[in-house]
């Protein structure tokens, strides 16, 4: 039985299955990807970026159609799915517009006996291992800069996203990408570790996923001396020091946390609130959480969507139950709704302390953890008291005060007076157990890149 299947998270119904690749097919993909690299690397960058521009146009034109595919695969409401296709289109267009600048030769200062340059060149076939929570966007972050640079791509998507994975490959072909420059494979984890990463034709791997997956892939890549980019979990702090409009702040943070039904690495998983506004903040968040009810995502996309799968719902609720058993206070939610599918009640937790499961693990679902603090120093200490370091945000009417805290948060990204957001021109990535490397923005093309020193001596 194949592990690649479309299972409607709203009903639990198995809609379609796709055959898992054989070992022979994986080896063939490596051969074809390497062969395609030999010609794609030499293709003028103007032609490479023209393909990306066509991909961008296709995503823009087919937004609602593509959104319906991932709604069926992982439960995302149609408006959010359309939004995902829009940002994906922007990413492809961004690298179409800027790749030439990003790889332009850079003259180095210093030599008196010659001229030194830094050249950015492709390295070969790169493996991408992508998650289910943003099926199109995550692939765009990885594929766009690498294809622009001249690398080729083998893509292993999440087992629950086989239909969107196939469609993405078809879009590249439609846009004019040469055969085998992008290959979708329905590979197993064992095929990744035992066949792809040991193969000398593979030059690296980019993974977005869980800590567990990142650790396993990094170990296999390290054993084979392969470069990795890892975008893993997050437990992002949102520090609310004060606000001129509490209702607006609550609305903003609530909507940000509930994006993709709480299944985003960089959403506000820990809301750290000053004591003078804490009680009102908690009351308003709890009221909003209790008001959300599940609905058929096909007829009422504005209401509560299911989690990505029944297994994901059970895992999420297990973390909540364990945290409550350890002494946390549950103000709302904590149950799966009756009936089929993966609908869960939004959760509000307070009194979460160090040592509890919810304090140290990422809660990947609609959970609001609220922390009361009485000083800026306490807020900063709590913000940094996590094994993760992906994103963060600080809110205050006093910009100097907000900047002082923001500058000391240990995270890959920090925002002031606005929620975190993914934009094609902003580098995305974390520190600590949130991973290594950067995607998007001007740094993305430097990851799987031969930054070659080129020295011309004066004769």
Catalytic residues, by residue number, are 231, 265
| CA dist., res. 84 & res. 258, Å (int) | 15
CB atoms within 10 A of CB 180: 21
| Residue of 362, 360, 344 whose CA lies nearest to 352 | 360
Asked if residue 349 lies in contact with residue 369, where contact means CB atoms within 8 angstroms, the answer is: yes
What would the two tokens of residue 36 be? 């395609």
| Residue of 396, 400, 395, 391 whose CA lies nearest to 438 | 391
Spell out the residues 6+ positions from residue 95 whose beta carbon is closer than 8 angstroms to its own: 49, 52, 144, 145, 148, 444, 445
What residue ranges in 323-448 does DSSP mark as E strands? 329-332, 347-350, 367-373, 388-389, 393-395, 415-416, 431-432, 435-436
What would the two tokens of residue 104 be? 């332009």
Kind of pairing between the strands at 329-332 and 431-432: unpaired
Asked if residue 392 lies in contact with residue 430, where contact means CB atoms within 8 angstroms, the answer is: no
| CA dist., res. 168 & res. 175, Å (int) | 11
Bridge partners, residue 231, by sequence: 208, 435
Bridge partners, residue 368, by sequence: 348
Angle between helices 399-406 and 376-384 (to 10 degrees): 30
CB atoms within 10 A of CB 296: 11
Q: Report the residue count for the chain.
A: 459
End-to-end C-alpha distance for the chain, whole angstroms: 67
Q: What contacts 24+ positions apart, CB below 8 Å, involve 404-409?
A: 404/376, 405/239, 405/241, 405/376, 405/379, 405/380, 408/380, 408/384, 409/237, 409/380, 409/383, 409/384
| CA dist., res. 216 & res. 124, Å (int) | 23
| CA dist., res. 186 & res. 165, Å (int) | 9
Tokens 């990463």: give the residue. Answer: 197
């Amino acid at each position: 039985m194949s592990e690649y299947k479309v299972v409607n998270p709203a009903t639990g119904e198995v809609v379609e299955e796709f055959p898992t690749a054989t070992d022979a097919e994986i080896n063939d993909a490596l051969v074809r990807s390497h062969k395609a690299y030999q010609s794609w690397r030499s293709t003028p960058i103007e032609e490479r970026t023209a393909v990306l521009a066509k991909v961008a146009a296709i995503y823009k034109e087919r937004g609602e159609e593509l959104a319906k595919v991932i709604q069926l695969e992982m439960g995302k409401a149609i408006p959010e799915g359309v939004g995902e296709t829009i940002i994906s289109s922007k990413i492809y267009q961004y690298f179409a517009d800027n790749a030439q600048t990003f790889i332009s030769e850079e003259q180095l200062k210093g030599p008196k006996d010659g001229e030194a340059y830094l050249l950015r060149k492709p390295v070969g076939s790169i493996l991408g291992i992508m998650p289910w929570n943003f099926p199109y966007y995550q692939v765009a972050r990885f594929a766009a800069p690498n294809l622009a640079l001249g690398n080729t791509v083998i893509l292993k998507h999440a087992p629950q996203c086989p239909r969107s994975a196939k469609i993405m490959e078809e879009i590249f072909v439609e846009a004019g990408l040469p055969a085998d420059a992008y290959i979708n494979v329905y590979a197993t984890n064992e095929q990744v570790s035992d066949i792809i990463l040991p193969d000398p034709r593979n030059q690296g791997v980019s993974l977005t996923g869980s800590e567990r997956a990142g650790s396993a892939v990094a170990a296999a890549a390290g054993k084979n001396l392969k470069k990795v980019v890892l975008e893993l979990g997050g437990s992002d702090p949102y520090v609310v020091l004060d606000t001129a409009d509490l209702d607006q702040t609550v609305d903003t943070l609530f909507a940000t946390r509930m994006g993709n039904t709480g299944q985003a690495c960089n959403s506000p998983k820990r809301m750290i609130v000053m004591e003078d506004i804490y009680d009102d903040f908690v009351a308003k968040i709890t009221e909003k959480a209790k008001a959300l009810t599940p609905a058929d995502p096909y007829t009422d996309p504005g209401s509560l969507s299911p989690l990505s799968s029944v297994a994901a719902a059970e895992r999420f609720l297990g973390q909540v139950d364990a945290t409550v058993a350890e002494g946390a206070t549950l103000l709302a939610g904590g149950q799966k709704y009756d009936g089929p599918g993966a609908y869960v009640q939004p959760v509000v937790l307070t009194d979460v302390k160090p040592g509890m499961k919810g304090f140290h693990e990422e809660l990947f679902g609609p959970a609001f953890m609220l922390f009361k603090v009485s000083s800026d120093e306490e807020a900063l200490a709590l913000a940094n008291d996590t094994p993760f370091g992906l994103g963060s945000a600080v809110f205050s009417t006093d910009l100097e005060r907000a900047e002082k805290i923001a500058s000391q948060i240990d995270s890959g990204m920090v925002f002031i007076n606005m929620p975190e957001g993914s934009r094609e021109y902003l580098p995305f990535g974390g520190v600590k157990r949130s991973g290594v490397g950067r995607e998007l923005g001007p740094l993305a093309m430097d990851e799987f890149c031969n930054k070659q020193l080129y020295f011309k001596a004066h004769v």
